[in-house]
């Protein structure tokens, strides 16, 4: 049975259904995403958490180049599938109070993007991976450029050019690897089995790394990110920050490091340094920000920098920490952007200096935002803690001073996030904020789910860590054995 | 071979229909005739062809594939011509006749087995095109286009002919097979005359496909000619030019690639890519942008000849098919936009997403395909070209190609941005059923080839 194929097909059907059912596109999209989520949970129950690939589908696609439609799920992919299928319903639900022009197209694009994302996270064939990578990009471009804010055309053109340029270099790398394989193949195992010399691995590393670094984004490839996040409609921002940037991190774990381990070792230190520069740099800018949405955008760069540093340190703690932190960051950042969206929508301003005292008129909202912020700043017993702890531990094992600097992210994060909370939620009410309505209906539901996830994962992360543990260990052993020569 | 006969006779029949004022019958007869030619052509697939007419022509799978592609493109273009030529002149039959004669020349060009036939085919096609470019008699731009095209074309034909004679002088034959044997049998002692001949032929053929630095005629001619003729020139004619180029070089000159002509062509390719793309970037006129972008697409297609190998034919075929279909959509929408808004600049497309979602959607697919985004045929074309070039380890060429693909995004997405992200007050745009059929068929084909290219790539 092709269990996996069904998972990929659901969002596609949902996307078409949204286009056909114009009147209730929102509801159609929500139900469709719930079905996909339910199906993903069914897969999870059938999933055996060992290091094997499961539910593998394999069909010949373009015979001449040995391209197959080959996809499967192992522990690492499973986390990503859960992230994608779990967050999309939340993102759609978060928009229930909004009306959009031409909303059927918007929801169809979101589900189409989900299709692309699921391909990326399950692909076991280089060509398929690339195709999924681009399929995920096209819808988000249109979402941000059609439904976005001021200056959206220029900002999104920059975003698109950046990511497209990066991915073309990746395509170059993929085709080159294909030409080196013995059996005319794009299969990931054939890529793993290659034994390339260090010069080739060096430049192949950059071919892939540029694509992934732009997507994450790692300093200095991040310049598209704050503008794009700020001008995009909130759903678009959630998709970008919550799910899409994880494509880059996933790509590093699945494709970059195992395929060119020698190239990776060569450039590892540089990447970790860049990541740490990114952490500090983004934190400082976030600290200075008055625009709340932009502040969250910069904080995202800082958090992703830590994930990248932990993964590039390449030990079991780091990769495991990266895996769980991807999930947590997705949940937290969606919560944050949703909260920012509620504030901006009701007050009609981005500027935190004009706000204050919202906690008094909106207690439910205040509690929810506080929990999300605590999760983001990695307070123990919230979800952020376990991930950042493992990641810092990994960097520490690599280089103690790097860990010291990277650890600043937690302190910085607490400072700018709590400062923002103070400015926005506490203090005196003013004319603008006194009319603030508390959250209700679907907003309460979204916030409730997010807060519940933050606390549950924070208290008991083990089941999630278990999903990917075996796969991560095997991958690290496999890479290290290639490096031993 | 029967398809060539059918097309030639069809052209004369259409001319007589015009003579007897049977105006309404012209288009249906042409289309039916072309479909017959298409069927006859496809029937010769895998028929184990041998050179015919005293070794003049060879209707092998290569010829079948490319003549079918050009016939299909011509059918799609002519379907758009309903009520188009009537606006230009009284005597519509001439247009169809001349286009059919050009097509006959093209069929010869893709199936020649003798340099003489290459020349004859090329001239039949070119002379027809000179007339078509200038067919708006009272229009200044059209006259300029025709004159420019004729003068430059005549020159390039001269180069080509000179090249053919020099090669004849060295190898004592026009026959491709004999020339091939000449090259193989004399790995060292090839006459210098032969080399000069190859260079001159590269110049002549580069002119025909609009490769830099022999591209200067392209923008003016494309802009000045009636749009429907421009589509024909930028799709069918270009495809034929590449087929002829590829056939000559893969059959005759392949062994000399590394030592001699490959570096020359590599320079031409890189120049073509950059000049086409960078100039396209600065255009505000959509038609002129397409003209320059067609130059850059010629650059991508040259990859297959620069990196001559097992997948070359396949790559050119899929790229030409993807590019032709996408161009037909782009020009088709352009014709409608120009008719109803009076201009062909980017800002005439503003708000098309609202005024006519169908047109905007198909044009988006076309632009995505030209830009080479996955799930469209254009991506598969680029992918094949990149694979072909990388197979010969032209890594720098691919790096240049990537830079150009990124530049391409700017101007292709300009149109998409205008259609969807900018609003303008304008009344609805309408399209006729013919347009709807052609545009939707082309869009669907673009997507299908993008998802499952094996349909046509497994042919060779």
| Mean per-residue pLDDT of chain A | 89
Cβ partners under 8 Å of residue A399, min gap 6: A272
3-state secondary structure of B392: coil
Position A485 confidence tier, pLDDT thresholds 50, 70, 90: low
Which of A93-107, A337-351, A360-374, B316-330 ranks highest by mean pLDDT? B316-330
**Mean pLDDT for the stretch of residues A481-485:** 78
| A142 chain-B contacts, CB cut-off 8 A | 420
Q: How far is CA B73 from the centre of its chain?
A: 9
DSSP bridge pairs for A62: A67
Check A176 against B395: CB less than 8 A apart.
yes
The 3-state DSSP class for residue B453 equals: coil
Residue B55: strand, helix, or coil? coil
Q: Are the C-beta atoms of B302 and B272 separated by less than 8 Å?
A: yes
Query: A63 and B458 in contact by Cβ < 8 A?
Result: yes
Burial label for B423, CB within 10 Å (0-12, 13-18, 19+), is: exposed
Q: List CB contacts (< 8 A) between A179 and chain B.
A: 387, 390-391
Q: Do B391 and A157 touch (CB under 8 A)?
A: no
pLDDT tens track for B123-137: 999 999 999 988 888
Closest residue on chain B to A169 (Cα)? B402
* Mean pLDDT along residues B210-215: 87
pLDDT at residue number A334 = 92
With beta carbons under 8 A apart, name residues in chain B contacting A153: 417, 421-422
**Contact assessment for residue A288 and residue A269, using Cβ atoms and an 8 Å cutoff:** no
Question: Nearest CA to CA, how far is B458 from chain A (Å)?
Answer: 7
What are the start-end ranges of the H helices in B342-394?
Answer: 352-355, 357-371, 377-391
Cβ of A138 and B373 within 8 Å? Answer: yes
The mean per-residue pLDDT over the stretch B96-106 comes to 94
Least CB-CB distance to B390: which of A138, A168, A179? A179
Neighbours of B149 (CB within 10 A): 24
Three-class DSSP labels, chain A: CCHHHHHHHHHHHHHHHHHHCCCCHHHHHHHHHHHHHHHHHHHHHHCCCCCCCEEEEEEEEEHHHCEEEEEEECHHHHHHHHHHHHHHHHHHHHCCCCCCCCHHHHHHHHHHHHHHHHHHHHECEHHHHHHHHHHHHHHHHHHHHHHCCCCHHHHHHHHHHHHHHHHHHHHHHHHHHHHHCCCCCCEHHHHHHCCCCHHHHHHHHHHHHHHHHHHCCCCCCCCCHHHHHHHCCHHHHHHHHHHHHHHHHHHHHHHHHHHCHHHHHHHHHHHHHHHHHHHHHHHHHHHHCCEHHHHHHHHHHHHHHHHHHHHHCCCHHHHHHHHHHHHHHHHHHHHHHHHHHHHHHHHCCCEHHHCCCHHHHCHHHHHHHHHHHHHHCCCCCCHHHHHHHHHHHHHHHHCHHHHHHHHHHHHHHHHHHHHHHHHHHCCCCCCCHHHCCCCCCHHHHHHHHHHHHHHHHHHCCHHHHHHHHHHHHHHHHHHHHHHCC
Predicted ipTM of the assembly: 0.91
Q: Å from A2 to nearest chain B CA?
A: 20
Instruction: Average the pLDDT over each of B26-40, B43-57, B216-230, B239-253 and give the range with the smallest value.
Output: B43-57
* CA of A215 vs chain B CAs: smallest distance (Å): 16
Inter-chain contact A169–B386, Cβ cutoff 8 Å? no
Residues pairing with A187 in the sheet? A125
Contact B386 A146 (CB under 8 A): no
B349 by Cβ neighbours in 10 Å (0-12 / 13-18 / 19+) ranks as buried
d(CA A281, CA A302) in angstroms, rounded, equals 8
A315, A440 in Cβ contact below 8 A? no
Q: Does A314 touch chain B (CB under 8 A)?
A: no
For residues B438-458, one letter each, b for 16 or more C-beta atoms within 10 angstroms of the residue's C-beta and e for the rest, the string is: bbeebbebbbebbbebbebbe
Q: Can you tell me whether residue B53 is helix, strand or coil? A: coil
Supply φ then ψ for residue A68, to 5 degrees: -120, 155
pLDDT band at B356 (very low <50, low <70, confident <90, very high): confident
End-to-end Cα separation, chain B, in angstroms: 19
Say how many CA atoms lie within 13 Å of B350 toward its Cβ. 11
Contact between chains at A64 and B457 (C-beta distance less than 8 A): yes
Q: What angle do CA B192, B195, B197 make, to 5 degrees?
A: 110
Give the domain ranges of chain A.
267-485
Q: In 10 A of CB B344, how many CB atoms?
A: 20
Please tell me the distance from the alpha carbon of residue B215 to that of residue B200, in angstroms, as a whole number. 16
Test B387 with A145 for CB contact under 8 angstroms.
no
Are B376 and B446 in contact, with CB atoms under 8 Å apart?
yes
Quote the pLDDT of residue A24: 85
Q: B131 is written with which tokens? A: 């007339």
Contact across the interface for A175 and B314, Cβ inside 8 Å = no
Residue environment code for A185-220, b if the CB has 16+ CB neighbours within 10 A, otherwise e: bbbbebbeebebeeebbbebbebbbbbbbbbbbbbe
One-character DSSP codes across B180-217: HHHHHH-SS---HHHHHHHHHHHHHHHHHHT-TTS-TH
What is the share, in percent, of chain A residues with pLDDT greater than 90?
Answer: 38
Distance CA A260, CA A256 (A): 6
Backbone angles phi, psi at B210, to 5 degrees: 70, 40
A1 — pLDDT class (breaks 50, 70, 90): low
- Tell me which chain B residues have a C-beta less than 8 angstroms from the C-beta of A62: 453-454, 457
Our CA angle for B319, B325, B328, nearest 5°, is 135
CB atoms within 10 A of CB B221: 30
Of the partner residues A62, A131, A164, the one whose CB lies closest to the CB of residue B406: A164
- Please measure the distance between the N-terminal and C-terminal CA atoms of chain A and give it in whole angstroms: 40
Work out the average pLDDT over B233-252.
92
Instruction: Render pLDDT for A23-64 as a digit per residue (tens, 0 to 9).
Output: 888 889 999 999 999 999 999 998 888 888 888 888 888 888
Chain A nearest-CA residue for B459: A64
Most confidently modeled range among A230-234, A326-330, A402-406: A326-330
- pLDDT tier at B53 (50, 70, 90 boundaries)? confident
Q: Which residues of B sit within 8 Å Cβ distance of A?
A: 311, 314, 368, 373-375, 379, 383, 386-387, 390-391, 395, 398-399, 402, 405-406, 409-410, 413, 417, 420-422, 452-454, 457-458
How far does A296 lie from chain B, in Å, by closest CA?
Answer: 26
Task: Determine, for residues A165 and B402 on separate chains, whether the beta-carbon distance falls below 8 Å.
Answer: yes
Per the rule left: phi > 0, alpha: psi between -120 and 50, beta: everything else, A109 is: alpha
Tell if the CB–CB gap between A172 and B398 is shorter than 8 Å: yes
Binary contact (B399, A172; C-beta < 8 A): yes
pLDDT value of position B135? 84
Quickly tell me which residue has 């064939």 as its tokens.
A125
User: What pLDDT, in 10s, does the model give residues A383-392?
Assistant: 888 888 999 8
Question: Which member of A65, A138, A160 has the closest CB to residue B387?
Answer: A65
Give the 3-state DSSP-derived string for B405-441, with helices as H, strands as E and coil as C: HHHHHHHHHHHHHHHHHCCCCCCCCCCCHHHHHHHHH
> Which is nearest to B442 in space by CA: B210, B235, B209?
B235
Q: Are B236 and B106 in contact (CB under 8 A)?
A: yes
Of B373, B387, B391, the CB nearest to A134: B373
Average pLDDT over residues B114-118: 92
The yes-or-no verdict on residue B12 having pLDDT over 90 is: yes
pLDDT in tens, A171-228: 999 999 998 888 888 999 889 888 888 899 999 999 999 999 999 888 888 888 888 8
A130 vs B374: CB contact, 8 Å cut-off?
yes
* Facing B454 at nearest CB: one of A63, A152, A153: A63
Using a pLDDT cut of 90, give the percent of chain B over it: 49
Residue of B nearest to A67 (CA): B454
Do the Cβ atoms of B387 and A178 come within 8 Å?
yes
pLDDT (0 to 100) of residue A184: 82
Per residue in B255-284, pLDDT (tens digit) is 887 778 888 899 999 999 999 999 998 988
In the three-class reduction of DSSP (H, G, I as helix; E, B as strand; rest coil), residue B112 is classed as strand
Within 10 angstroms of residue B150's Cβ, the number of other Cβ atoms is: 19
* A252-281 per-residue burial string, b: 16 or more CB within 10 A, e: under 16: bbbbbbbbbbbbbbebbeebbbbbbebbbb
CB atoms near residue B12 (< 10 Å): 12
- Chain A hits for B406, CB-CB cut-off 8 Å, are 161, 164-165, 168
Instruction: Please tell me whether residue B57 adopts helix, strand or coil conformation.
Output: strand
Q: Do B390 and A65 touch (CB under 8 A)?
A: no
Q: What is the pLDDT of residues A259-302, one digit of tens each?
A: 999 999 889 899 999 999 998 899 989 888 888 888 898 888 88
B398 contacts in A (CB within 8 Å)? 172
The DSSP code for B458 is T
A vs B: CB pairs below 8 A: 70
**Separation between Cα atoms, residue A305 and residue B146, nearest integer Å:** 60
Residue in A8, A60, A62 to test binding to B, most B beta-carbons within 10 Å? A62
Q: Do A135 and B375 touch (CB under 8 A)?
A: yes
* pLDDT at site B14: 92
Q: What is the pLDDT of residue B210?
A: 87
In three-state secondary structure terms, B52 is strand
B426: confidence class by pLDDT, cuts 50, 70, 90: low
Distance CA A82, CA B51 (A): 62
C-alpha dihedral, B392 to B397 to B402 to B404, nearest 10°: -140
Which tokens is A34 given? 């719930």
- Is the distance from CB of A433 to CB of A361 less than 8 angstroms? yes
């Amino acid at each position: 049975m092709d269990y996996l194929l069904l998972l990929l097909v659901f969002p596609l059907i949902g996307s078409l259904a949204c286009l056909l059912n114009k009147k209730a596109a929102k509801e159609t999209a929500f139900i469709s995403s719930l079905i996909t989520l339910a199906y993903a949970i069914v897969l999870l129950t059938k999933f055996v958490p060992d290091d094997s690939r499961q539910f593998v589908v394999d069909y010949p696609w373009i015979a001449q180049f040995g391209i197959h439609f080959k996809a499967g799920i192992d522990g690492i992919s499973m986390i990503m599938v859960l992230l994608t299928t779990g967050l999309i319903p939340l993102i759609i639900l978060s928009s229930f109070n909004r009306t959009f022009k031409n909303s059927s197209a918007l929801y169809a694009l979101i589900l189409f993007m989900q299709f692309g994302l699921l391909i990326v996270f399950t692909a076991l064939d280089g060509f398929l991976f690339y195709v999924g990578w681009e399929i995920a990009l096209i819808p988000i471009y249109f979402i941000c450029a059609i439904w976005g804010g001021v200056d959206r055309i220029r900002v999104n053109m920059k975003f698109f050019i950046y990511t497209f340029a990066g991915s073309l270099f990746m395509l170059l790398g993929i085709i080159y690897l294909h030409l080196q394989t013995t059996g005319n193949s794009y299969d990931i195992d054939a890529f793993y089995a290659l034994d390339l010399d260090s010069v080739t691995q060096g430049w192949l590393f950059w071919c892939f790394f540029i694509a992934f670094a732009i997507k994450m984004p790692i300093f200095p490839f991040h310049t598209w990110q704050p503008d794009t996040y700020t001008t995009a409609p909130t759903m678009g921002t959630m998709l970008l920050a919550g799910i899409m940037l994880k494509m880059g991190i996933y790509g590093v774990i699945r494709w970059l490091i195992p395929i060119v381990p020698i190239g990776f070792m060569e450039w590892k230190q540089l990447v970790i340094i860049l990541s740490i520069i990114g952490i500090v740099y983004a934190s400082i800018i976030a600290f200075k920000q008055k625009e709340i949405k932009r502040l969250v955008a910069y904080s995202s760069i800082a958090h992703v920098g830590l994930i990248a540093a932990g993964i590039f340190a390449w030990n079991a703690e780091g990769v495991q920490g990266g895996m769980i932190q991807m999930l947590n960051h997705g949940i937290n950042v969606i919560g944050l952007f949703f909260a920012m969206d509620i504030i901006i929508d009701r007050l009609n301003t981005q500027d935190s200096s004009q706000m204050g005292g919202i906690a008094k008129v909106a207690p439910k909202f205040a509690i929810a935002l506080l929990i999300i912020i605590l999760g983001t700043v990695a307070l123990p017993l919230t979800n952020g803690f376990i991930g950042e702890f493992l990641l810092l531990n990994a960097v520490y094992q690599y280089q103690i001073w790097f860990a010291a600097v990277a650890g600043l992210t937690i302190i910085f994060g607490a400072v700018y996030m709590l400062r923002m909370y103070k400015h926005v939620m506490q203090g005196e009410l003013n004319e603008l904020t006194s009319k603030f309505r508390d959250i209700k209906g679907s907003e309460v539901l979204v916030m409730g789910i997010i807060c519940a996830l933050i606390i549950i994962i924070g208290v008991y992360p083990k089941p999630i860590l278990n999903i990917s543990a075996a796969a991560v260990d095997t991958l690290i052993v496999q890479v290290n054995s290639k490096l031993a020569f | 071979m029967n398809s060539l006969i059918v097309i030639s006779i069809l052209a004369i029949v259409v001319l007589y229909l015009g003579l007897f004022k049977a105006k309404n019958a012209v288009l249906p007869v042409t289309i039916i005739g072309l479909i017959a030619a298409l069927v006859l052509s496809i029937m010769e697939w895998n028929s184990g062809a041998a050179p015919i007419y005293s070794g003049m022509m060879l209707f092998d799978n290569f010829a079948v594939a490319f003549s079918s592609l050009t016939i299909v493109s011509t059918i799609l273009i002519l379907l758009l011509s309903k009520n188009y030529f009537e606006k230009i002149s009284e005597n519509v039959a001439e247009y169809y006749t001349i286009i059919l004669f050009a097509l006959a020349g093209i069929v010869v060009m893709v199936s020649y087995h003798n340099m003489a036939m290459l020349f004859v085919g090329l001239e039949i096609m070119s002379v027809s095109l000179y007339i078509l470019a200038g067919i708006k008699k009272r229009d200044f731009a059209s006259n300029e286009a025709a004159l420019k095209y004729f003068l430059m074309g005549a020159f390039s034909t001269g180069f080509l002919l000179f090249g053919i004679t020099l090669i004849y002088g060295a190898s004592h034959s026009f026959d491709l097979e004999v020339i091939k044997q000449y090259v193989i049998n004399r790995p060292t002692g090839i006459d210098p005359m032969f080399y000069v001949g190859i260079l001159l032929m590269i110049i002549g053929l580069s002119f025909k496909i609009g490769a830099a630095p022999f591209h200067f005629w392209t923008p003016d001619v494309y802009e000045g000619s009636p749009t429907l003729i421009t589509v024909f020139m930028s799709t069918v004619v270009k495809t034929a030019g590449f087929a002829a180029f590829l056939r000559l070089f893969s059959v005759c000159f392949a062994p000399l690639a590394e030592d001699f002509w490959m570096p020359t062509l590599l320079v031409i390719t890189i120049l073509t890519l950059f000049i086409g793309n960078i100039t396209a970037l600065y255009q505000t006129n959509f038609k002129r942008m397409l003209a320059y972008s067609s130059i850059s697409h010629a650059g991508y297609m040259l990859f297959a000849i620069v990196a001559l190998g097992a997948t070359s034919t396949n790559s050119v075929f899929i790229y030409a098919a993807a590019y032709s279909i996408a161009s037909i959509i782009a020009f088709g929408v352009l014709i409608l936009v120009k008719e109803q808004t009076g201009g062909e600049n980017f800002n005439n497309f503003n708000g098309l997403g609202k005024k006519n979602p169908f047109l905007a959607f198909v044009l988006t697919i076309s632009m995505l395909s030209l830009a080479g985004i996955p799930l469209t045929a254009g991506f598969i074309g680029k992918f094949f070209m990149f694979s072909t070039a990388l197979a010969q380890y032209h890594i720098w060429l691919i790096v240049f190609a990537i830079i150009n693909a990124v530049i391409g995004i700017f101007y292709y997405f300009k149109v998409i941005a205008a259609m969807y992200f900018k609003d303008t007050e304008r009344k609805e745009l309408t399209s006729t059923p013919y347009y709807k059929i052609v545009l939707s068929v082309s869009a669907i084909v673009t997507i299908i080839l993008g998802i499952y290219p094996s349909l046509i790539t497994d042919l060779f």
